[in-house]
Structure 1
Amino acid sequence: MKHRSHSNFHRSIEGKSLMVQFGQAGLKPSQIKKAVNTMKTSNVADVTSKQCADVLSEQRKQHKGKEFYGLIKHFQDKTLVDSDQYFVVDLSDDGYPRNIFWADGRSRDAYTKFRDVVVFDVTYMTNKFKMPFAPFTGVNHHGQSILFGGALLENEKEESFEWLFEHFLKCMFNKYPKAVITDQDKAMRNAIKKVFPKTRHRFCSWHIMKHETEHLRSYVSHYSDFQETHKQWVNSDTIEQFEATWEVMRSKYELENNSWITDMYNQRIHWAKPFLKDTFFAGMTTTGRSESINSFFDGYVNSRTMLNEFVVQYDKAVESRRAAEEDEDFKTMNSRPVLSSVHPIEAKAGQCYTRKMFETFKKEWTEAITNLTHETKGKTTEESTYRVGQLDVDKKYWRIVTFRSLDQVSVTCSCAKYETNGILCKHSLYVMKKKHVKELPSHYILPRWTLSVRYKLGSASIGLGKMNNENGVSAYTLWCVRSNFTKLIEQARDSPSEIQKVNTILISLLDDQTNRKKSTSLENISQGSCMGVSQIDMMSQLSVRDPLGPSTTKGRPKVASRIRSSLEAPKKRTCSYCQGLGHYTTSCSKRKSDESLEET
């Protein structure tokens, strides 16, 4: 016999608490129902999806109008355990939040090691206010995606991007990213040019290919050889080849009439391979990294996620990413590489690279020792030049490799894999083996692909002399000193005598600083992570309001849990009868018209 109370589990404190916890973990009501029914006692009636949805709705109502307050409270609480956290809000004159940016201490630490390439993309709806989520994504030493910081934006206008990039730069110790990959958005491009003038800006190759299909369809249908010529132009190996092929195309196909391809030619330094061979991109050519991050968040947030819930879920997603990184660290430290040969070049790579990056190297090495051959182009006492490739591949696709071995071994290849990916290509490795190089030269092993850059708590032992500038102590130096100071206290806290010793030294140093004629400028401190803390402290004294409402974004659907990235965009309907877009054969008016004519 069941008591009436047995059917009211969803109304009990225990039941509601359980459902809210699962809801905060990103589960849908149907998923919560299954989880709760599995965990509860047998004499309690099963809960339904509607009951779960009602509990979540009731919980959300309690936070109505207080979402932004909850978001700030979350960052205030985090600051107590992470003094290096950075958080800033852009408020309107009326006190409404417009743009929000944050990055925790570990993300900032990661940026100091992996700022060589940053992917920035805005494709994600995260909450009922429809504020686009804009993550800054990088690549770690295992080739995994990592987050440098996150932002919620009011819109996708140039001034919003400028505000965001300026604060990203302040957060990251005024260290510019060396390269950034984005789509072709004009507002984003202009903001990058203003705020990151020293950064190499690359357009996402996938977006360009997508637009090529749209804008060049008429040329492909009118000229039988256009597609092949265009392919040769895009895949040009040198700048000279690129420019020569362009002149042929421009004249032969009258491309001046096509404003899109002319505009793309004018912006060639942002996407054409010959112009990007001197820049490291960690093997990336698209914003797929950012979009994969967005997909990763699908398990945690949806279009109804409240602002205060989103930042909690963001942290959970980031922790999951970091756990995966630590797993790879563990594998590298506790396993031996599986070698495909007994050559010392491969053995050295196995010792130095992380396991994931060694697998990348091994593919190149295996190709080098099994599938390649060469022709000698020229030889002097100082250098040798070879054309390297596969016998079954046309020689026009072979690569030019130059080898020198005066002071140290130097090898360059026309494919520029090392320059762009940071791993020696098979062509270079083939020549090094042929020239009897006994060991992989250390200057070809990038530290960013080794365990030397793995995250260690309180490991900011940077060469301070190198980090200062003519204007005084840099924000980065202050951050490093503070990290080391925190580490010192943590190590001495279990010994009263050691803590007393630290305190005595500090008092002495403070006295010295007090006696200095020129005190340290407060501005230098505010450029570090303290800026984020002071911002939060000030925010708690304001009349905190939620955003005004759903923001207007570029080409966004009115209803969407997540904005579909371009890589996931559904294909347009194409009629197999008339080749028209937007319908199928079953609803084709031309087919129906033709059939009716045949009947008559």
Structure 2
Amino acid sequence: MVGSDNENVMDNMNIVEDEKLGRDGAIVPEVGMKFKDEKEMFEFYKRYAYNVGFPVRKRNSKKGDDGVVRYVTFTCSHEGRRSIKKPQATIPTGCKARLAASADIDGTWKITVIHLDHNHKISSFKSRLYRCNRELSAHLKRRPEVYDMTKNPLHKSCTSVVLEAGGGENMTYVKKDCRNYIEQVRQLRIGEGDAAAIQSYFSKIQAQCSEFYFSMDLDEELRLKNVFWADNRSRQAYKEFGDVVTFDTTYLTNKYDTPFVPFVGVNHHGQSILLGCGLVSNEDTDTFVWLFKTWLQCMHDQAPHGIITNQDRTMQNAIQIVFPNSKHRWCLWHILKKWSEKFGYHVDKSSIFSVMHVLVYDSQTVEEFEEGWRAMIDTYDLHNNVWLSGLYENRDRWVPCFSKTTFWPGMSTTQSSESMTSFFDGYLHPKTSLKQFFEQYERALRNKVEKEYQADFKSYFQMVPCATKYEMEKQFHAIYTISKFKEFQDEFIGKIYCEVISASEGFLGTTYEVREDVINDERVKKRIFSVSFRRENCDIICSCHLFEFLGIICRHAISVLIRNDITSLPEKYMLRRWRRDVSRSHTRVAVIYGTPRQLRYDKMCRAFAELADLVADDEEQTRAIMDWIEFQSKELRMTKSRSGCNVDENSIS
């Protein structure tokens, strides 16, 4: 504990008055007491509670604007309400005893609120049985672990420990704690086996493809902590689509509490594409630094221009360390998702949601957003909302008008990452074991690759017809993938809602005012956009900055170009990223995902498909082939039945 004059805990204990002492000499907490960190303060409160005779827990905490925990509340464990579904009549609830504290900028904690009275009986003799006070020492942990490894009954271990402690009244844990620890130990042993199995699996894949990359991070006891891997297809795709990457830790956590963390980009069809992924045991700065450095090394030290994540502070710290020159944005999708949680209590929540939505999506300039934000804060008296204040301080990380002049290829949120993770739905779930994870991951990824192949095929052999006879539309029709041409076509058709209402000459060219009728639910809102145009080099810039942000020229610019009789655009407005006539290296990488069984299965399927193409037009040959297949199926079923062999369809051997 740190006093106002930097006294330590013992100093305060010596000067405390007798009336401030609790049972057995415990120091009574009071407002103004200071501590060097949160842990020291909690241990102090636990010692007081142990001596007085009540259980404690951490009730809640809040972060400051800097993302560091600045406010915390500890309460008596009887503080909550009684469960209706599972009432526990013997446990009183609603206790108001608590300690609240806050930290200053230097990290010093000070008690700000203290309530000492309880609404239930307290007894120091029962303190050792409260969950918060039960613990297994390193020595006591070793005994049940040894008994378990030698297959001895668990109750023998517990009995010996009771005798060693001098009786049950001196024990600091109950039998249930011992059983829980054994379950943890068994889980860690599974982890060791998984580490070896995963390394063996990765080595097999690497033997098939030398460009397959993986790295495993082990703890001091050689247990698996973190793992990263990327196949050659992902590494080649990064060369084309690694300019902007999303990184999401929110998808799933398997039964080993190991989050799956995919690196995801956007391909030429606007589809999400995997650029590597990992499993991490922690979400602290050191873990993310290891993961990011490993990924960067895998990608030949070529950092992305931009990276999108959630608001995790530790991730932000790691990005500043590993990607100091990359632009870092927050996931707008995650931020807006939190609004109902943060303002569900507010009487004007619907109005606040509506105003915020307009601010985020309709603000064309920083000044417009700033003015609208101040008005919202004043109107709904949100000056003291800590969460909003933190968002405002970091507004350049998530509000589109602050970053729309930088290229983010359709990734204004982690929407592409969300679609990537939802793609794994049905294959992966939180209870998936590590072994099952890689089996299902392969199946899911092969399906994803097939979807890209199908989109490539359609873009080569099919096309959406032009909606007009303008040469400019035909220009993009000839070279863009179907999905990206549709986006351009939407803008081209959207020019019918636009009207050039004024033009003024300037030193850098002509500036046009374009009015657009934005029609939503039969309501028309007129918005004004400013478009500057230089005829000599066909430079055109719109205040909406759609081209700079998404790589698709906007309807306002198209209106000005047509007004100036521009029939076709220079190459700089037709991005290689969206073209269908580009040969990309990742599409030539052989797909090796799958077990030997799966690869054999695919090989046979392709052979059967080729055979079917050859004979499908001949009824007699088709019947002969089908008879042969039926005969082979019966023979194989009989053979497997006699041998008692069951095929494990989920094997990854």
What TM-score bracket applies, with the shorter chain setting the length?
Answer: 0.5 to 0.7
1:367-406 equivalence runs, <5 A: 367-368=494-495, 370-380=496-506, 383-391=509-517, 397-406=527-536
Q: Which moved more, 1:145-154 or 1:299-308?
A: 299-308
Q: Structure 2 vs 1, CA of residues 332 and 257 (structure 1 numbering), >3 Å: closer, same or farther?
A: same
Alignment pair present for 1:447 and 2:573: no
Residue 541 of structure 2 is matched in structure 1 by 412
Q: How does 1:48-447 map to 2 (within 5 A)?
A: 66-125=193-252, 127-216=254-343, 221=348, 230-231=356-357, 233-234=359-360, 235-250=362-377, 254-368=381-495, 370-380=496-506, 383-391=509-517, 397-406=527-536, 408-447=537-576
- Which has a greater percent of helix? 1
> Displacement of 1:170 after TM fit?
1.0
Q: 2-side partners of 1:81 and 1:170: how far apart?
A: 21
| CA distance in 2 between partners of 1:70 and 1:211 (Å) | 39
In structure 2, the partner of 1:474 is: none
Q: Which amino acid aligns with 2:248?
A: D
Distance 1:258 1:111 in 2: 41
Q: Secondary structure at the match of 2:425?
A: helix
Letter of the aligned partner of 1:375 in structure 2?
I
Match of 1:13 in 2: none
Q: What is the aligned residue count?
A: 397
For residues 125 and 214 of structure 1, what CA distance do their matches in structure 2 show?
21
Structure-2 separation of matches of 1:209 and 1:311: 33
- Once the two structures are TM-superposed, the CA of residue 343 in structure 1 deviates from its matched residue by 1.1
Deviations 1:130-165 (A, max 9, x none): 311001111100011110011001021222111111
Deviation per CA, 1:295-349, whole angstroms, max 9, x where unpaired?
Answer: 2222323344332332233222222111111111111222344111111101110
Q: In structure 2, give the amino acid aligned to 1:447.
A: R
Q: Secondary structure of 1:428's match?
A: helix
Aligned pairs for 1:477-516 (under 5 A) are: none
Note the 1:429-578 alignment, pairs <5 A. Answer: 429-456=558-585
Task: Give the whole-Å Cα distance in 2 for the aligned partners of 1:289 and 1:232.
Answer: 23
Question: Identity, % of aligned pairs?
Answer: 37
Q: Distance in 1 between matches of 2:430 and 2:356?
A: 41
Judge conservation of contact 2:339–2:353 (CA < 8 Å) in 1: no
Give SS of 1:351's match: helix
Distance 1:458 1:373 in 2: 43
Mapped contact 2:529–2:542 kept (Cα < 8 A): yes
The separation in 2 between residues aligned to 1:138 and 1:180, in whole angstroms, is 10
| 8 A Cα contact 2:400 2:412, kept in partner | no
Q: Report what 1:35 is aligned to.
A: none
Q: Which residue of 2 aligns with 1:509?
A: none
Q: Against the structure 1 CA distance between its residues 64 and 405, is the aligned structure 2 distance closer, same or farther, given a 3 Å change threshold?
A: closer
Partners in 2 of 1:433 and 1:105 — Cα distance? 45
Aligned with 1:122: secondary structure? coil
CA 1:213–1:426: 2 relative to 1, 3 Å: same
Question: Any conservation in 1 of the 2:331–2:412 contact (CA below 8 Å)?
Answer: yes
TM-score, scaled to structure 2: 0.57
> In the aligned structure 2, how far is the partner of 1:111 from the partner of 1:124?
22
Query: How many angstroms apart in 1 are the aligned matches of 2:526 and 2:363?
Result: 12
Contact 1:119 1:137 in 2 (8 A): yes
8 Å Cα contact 1:361/1:424 also seen in 2: yes
CA gap of 1:219–1:412, structure 2 versus 1, over 3 A, is farther
Task: For 2:274, give the aligned amino acid.
Answer: L
Please identify, of 179-188 and 247-256, the stretch whose mean Cα deviation from structure 2 is larger: 247-256
Change (3 A) 1:455 1:392: closer
Per the alignment, do residues 439 and 166 of structure 1 end up closer, same or farther by CA in structure 2, a change over 3 Å counting? same
Label 1:107 to 1:390 Cα distance change in 2 as closer, same or farther (>3 A): same
Q: Displacement of 1:219 after TM fit?
A: 6.0
The one-letter amino acid of 1:388's match is V
Secondary structure of the structure 2 residue equivalent to 1:378: strand
Task: Identify unmatched segments of 5+ residues in structure 2.
Answer: 1-189, 590-653
Q: Pick closer, same or farther for the CA change 1:239–1:345 going to 2, 3 Å.
A: same
Q: Which structure has more RCO (C-alpha within 8 Å, separation ≥ 6)?
A: 1
Distance in structure 1 (CA, Å) of the matches to 2:585 and 2:341: 48
User: How far apart, in 2, do the equivalents of 1:455 and 1:427 lie?
Assistant: 32
Q: Deviations over 1:111-143 (max 9, x none)?
A: 111112111111233643231100111110001
Are the counterparts in 2 of residues 125 and 302 from structure 1 also a CA contact under 8 Å? yes
Task: Kindly state the Cα deviation for residue 283 of structure 1 after the two structures are TM-superposed.
Answer: 1.7
Letter matched to residue 403 of structure 1: F
- Over 3 Å counting, the alpha-carbon distance change for 1:336 and 1:101 in structure 2 is same
**Which is richer in strand?**
2
Maintained 8 Å contact 2:194/2:434? yes
For residues 425 and 353 of structure 2, the distance between their equivalents in structure 1, rounded to whole angstroms, comes to 38
Alignment of 1:10-49 (within 5 A): none
Encode CA deviations 1:362-409: one digit per residue, 9 max, x unaligned.
1111112x3321211412485222222335777762211111112x21
- Does the Cα contact within 8 Å between 1:126 and 1:310 map onto a contact in 2? no
* Secondary structure of the corresponding residue to residue 205 of structure 2: helix
Structure showing greater Rg: 2
3-state DSSP class of the match of 1:299?
coil
Amino acid at match of 1:398: I
Q: Which residue of structure 2 aligns with residue 494 of structure 1?
A: none
Structure 2 contact 264–274 (Cα < 8 Å) conserved: yes
Q: How far has the Cα of 1:456 moved from its partner?
A: 3.6
Which stretch has the larger CA shift, 392-401 or 428-437?
392-401
Query: Does the residue aligned with 1:100 lie in a helix, a strand or coil?
Result: strand
Distance 1:457 1:196, change over 3 A: closer
Distance 1:86 1:217, change over 3 A: same
Unaligned runs of 5+ in 1: 1-62, 461-600
Q: Please tell me whether the aligned partners of residues 191 and 223 of structure 2 are also in contact (alpha carbons under 8 angstroms).
A: no
* Cα pair 1:382 1:405 within 8 Å, conserved: no
For residues 229 and 392 of structure 1, what CA distance do their matches in structure 2 show? 17
Aligned partner of 1:236: which letter? S
Deviation string 1:492-547 (CA, Å, 9 cap, x unpaired) is xxxxxxxxxxxxxxxxxxxxxxxxxxxxxxxxxxxxxxxxxxxxxxxxxxxxxxxx
Contact (CA 8 Å) 1:126, 1:301: kept in 2 or not?
no
